[in-house]
């Protein structure tokens, strides 16, 4: 087990840390001692898990091997650095740089990030034989994150770019509809549902196909259902735009899905605002889709579903044979906060 930490996006308070944990779980990596700080998740796991997080995660910026944690003041940091053997990760002949990232304005009275970068650079240089500093093209980068009252310093393992997500935002797709979900959120939901490579993921309200696209990008087979023909054609167009084969697109009703088994369900039913509930209500559609999903999933498999917070969907799943795993809340605008709930099928 390696001590790791992940620098997380500040786009949501709880989704990013939950996503990292879900990716590790989906890919079969056990982890221990998770600790969530503001925009940082610390845990111990197999270092290979960071690759999976790099490939799959929407809300992780950087992953690192943790080397030390200190109170965020110069003296405590210098003492902790003195006790750390950098030669374990920085070999003779290698170059390095130190980069410090401050979350919000934590410890800004105590620490100037540029001063800390220089101080740490000197100290690591002094205590590690045969290494050099290279600011432009270093062999190794030590990343320090100041969050809450702590500095966490580690060896950067992967950098994660969110560029590909912005290329897939709803307005960039050939078929756009205002009800479309942001691609990062859809990817995160796919991860929370524990979708795996080669598994079958269903979105029973697929709309413009956002979740199908995000699932296909991590290697899932996908099936989308929508009760509006134009949405099905629109999804087909969007999938084709990203070179994804439309394996299963059904113009039909989510309450009567003509399938036998799927491995994960990710969905965002209509809220009756920008997308119509087609003579039903959101709450009824959520109940009905939970019943359909229960019949299609195996025990232990998951549905990740979004709905307006006011509906309190957490209470619905339990009565329908699901265990409520977790819920997260995402503010959209003053009249809409989404609840993103994860349920696991508890029994047949």
Ligand X SMILES: C[S@@+](CC[C@H](N)C(=O)[O-])C[C@H]1O[C@@H](n2cnc3c(N)ncnc32)[C@H](O)[C@@H]1O
Structure tokens at 343: 């349920």
Give the dihedral sign, CA 231/235/236/238. positive
Q: How far is the CB of 146 from ligand X (least distance, A)?
A: 36
Q: How far is the CB of 20 from ligand X (least distance, A)?
A: 23
DSSP state of 133: E
Sheet hosting strand 322-333, strand order edge to edge:
248-251, 221-226, 200-203, 264-267, 302-308, 336-345, 322-333
Q: What are phi and psi of 317, to 5 degrees?
A: -65, -40
CA contacts within 13 A on the Cβ side of 153: 32
- 301/282 Cα distance (integer angstroms): 23
- 49/123 Cα distance (integer angstroms): 31
Q: How far is the CB of 204 from ligand X (least distance, A)?
A: 6
Q: How far is the CB of 132 from ligand X (least distance, A)?
A: 49
Q: Are 65 and 2 in contact (CB under 8 A)?
A: yes
Smaller CB separation from ligand X, 41 or 231: 231
Smaller CB separation from ligand X, 140 or 302: 302
Structure tokens at 322: 């699901």
Smaller CB separation from ligand X, 195 or 231: 231
Smaller CB separation from ligand X, 43 or 239: 239
Q: What are the angstrom distances between the C-alpha of 191 and each of 19, 214, 324?
A: 6, 10, 16
Smaller CB separation from ligand X, 69 or 227: 227
Smaller CB separation from ligand X, 20 or 285: 285
- 263/299 Cα distance (integer angstroms): 10
Smaller CB separation from ligand X, 52 or 225: 225
Smaller CB separation from ligand X, 33 or 166: 166
Q: Are 336 and 271 in contact (CB under 8 A)?
A: yes
Q: How far is the CB of 331 from ligand X (least distance, A)?
A: 17
- 191/218 Cα distance (integer angstroms): 9
Residues that bind ligand X (CB under 6 A): 179-181, 204-205, 207-208, 210-211, 225-228, 231, 253-255, 268-270, 275, 277-278
What is the 3-class SS of 193-253, one letter each residue?
Answer: CCCCCCCEEEECCCCCCHHHHHHHHCCCEEEEEECCHHHHHHHHHHHHHCCCCCCEEEECC
Residue nearest to ligand X (CB): 207
Residues sharing a CB contact under 8 Å with residue 135, sequence separation 6 or more, in sequence order: 97
Q: How far is the CB of 253 from ligand X (least distance, A)?
A: 4
Q: How far is the CB of 229 from ligand X (least distance, A)?
A: 9
Q: How far is the CB of 340 from ligand X (least distance, A)?
A: 12
Smaller CB separation from ligand X, 144 or 270: 270
Residues sharing a CB contact under 8 Å with residue 183, sequence separation 6 or more, in sequence order: 58, 165, 168, 169, 170, 210, 213, 214
Q: How far is the CB of 13 from ligand X (least distance, A)?
A: 22
């Amino acid at each position: 087990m390696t001590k790791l930490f992940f620098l997380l996006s500040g786009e949501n308070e709880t989704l990013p840390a939950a996503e990292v944990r879900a990716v590790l779980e989906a890919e079969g990596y056990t982890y221990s001692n998770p600790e969530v700080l503001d925009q940082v998740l610390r845990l111990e796991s197999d270092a290979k898990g960071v690759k999976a997080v790099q490939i799959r995660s929407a809300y992780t910026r950087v992953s690192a091997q943790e080397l030390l944690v200190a109170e965020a003041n110069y003296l405590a940091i210098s003492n902790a650095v003195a006790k750390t053997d950098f030669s374990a990760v920085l070999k003779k002949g290698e170059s390095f740089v130190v980069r410090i990232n401050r979350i919000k304005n934590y410890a800004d009275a105590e620490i100037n990030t540029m001063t800390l970068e220089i101080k740490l650079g000197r100290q690591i240089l002094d205590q590690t034989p045969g290494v050099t500093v290279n600011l432009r093209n270093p062999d190794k980068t030590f990343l320090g994150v100041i969050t809450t009252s702590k500095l966490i310093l580690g060896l950067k393992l992967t950098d994660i770019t969110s560029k590909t997500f912005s290329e897939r935002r709803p307005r960039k797709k050939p078929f756009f509809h205002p009800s479309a979900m942001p691609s990062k959120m859809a990817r995160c939901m796919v991860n929370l549902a524990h979708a795996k490579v080669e598994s079958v993921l269903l979105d029973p309200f697929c709309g413009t196909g956002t979740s199908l696209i995000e699932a296909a990008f991590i290697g899932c087979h996908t099936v989308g259902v929508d009760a509006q023909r134009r949405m099905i054609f629109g999804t087909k167009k969007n999938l084709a735009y990203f070179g994804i084969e439309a394996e299963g697109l059904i113009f039909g009703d989510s309450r009567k899905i003509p399938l036998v088994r799927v491995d994960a369900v990710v969905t965002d039913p209509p809220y009756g605002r920008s997308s119509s509930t087609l003579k039903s209500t959101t709450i009824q559609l959520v109940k009905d889709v939970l019943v359909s999903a229960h019949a299609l999933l195996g025990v232990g498999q998951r549905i990740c579903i979004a709905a307006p917070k006011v509906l309190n969907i957490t209470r619905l799943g339990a009565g329908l044979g699901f265990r409520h795993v977790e819920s997260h809340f995402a503010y959209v605008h003053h009249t809409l906060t989404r609840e993103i709930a994860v349920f696991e099928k508890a029994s047949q």
